[in-house]
Amino acid sequence: MNQDSLGLKIAKIVVFAISIFLVVYGHTEIGYPYLGMELLGLTGILLLLWQYNRKYV
């Protein structure tokens, strides 16, 4: 079983926090740049979910 190192776990938490921030902040403003921020945050969250679920497929 492959265990993530502490540094990789911390990096994933940081990416998750930044992604959530981008989604929430982009949602509070109006305009295409903020829509892009939301989509970038959503992409980060989906990539983390894909990476987590990859070992179960």
Residue 46, token pair as written in the block: 């989906």
Q: What Cα–Cα distance (Å) separates residue 20 from each residue in 3, 13, 39, 55?
A: 25, 11, 11, 24
CA dist., res. 6 & res. 41, Å (int): 23
pLDDT digits (tens, 9 = 90+) for 14-41: 999 999 999 999 999 999 999 999 999 9
pLDDT band at residue 1 using 50, 70 and 90 as cut-offs: very low
Over pLDDT 70: what percentage of the chain? 93
Q: What is the chain's mean pLDDT, rounded?
A: 91
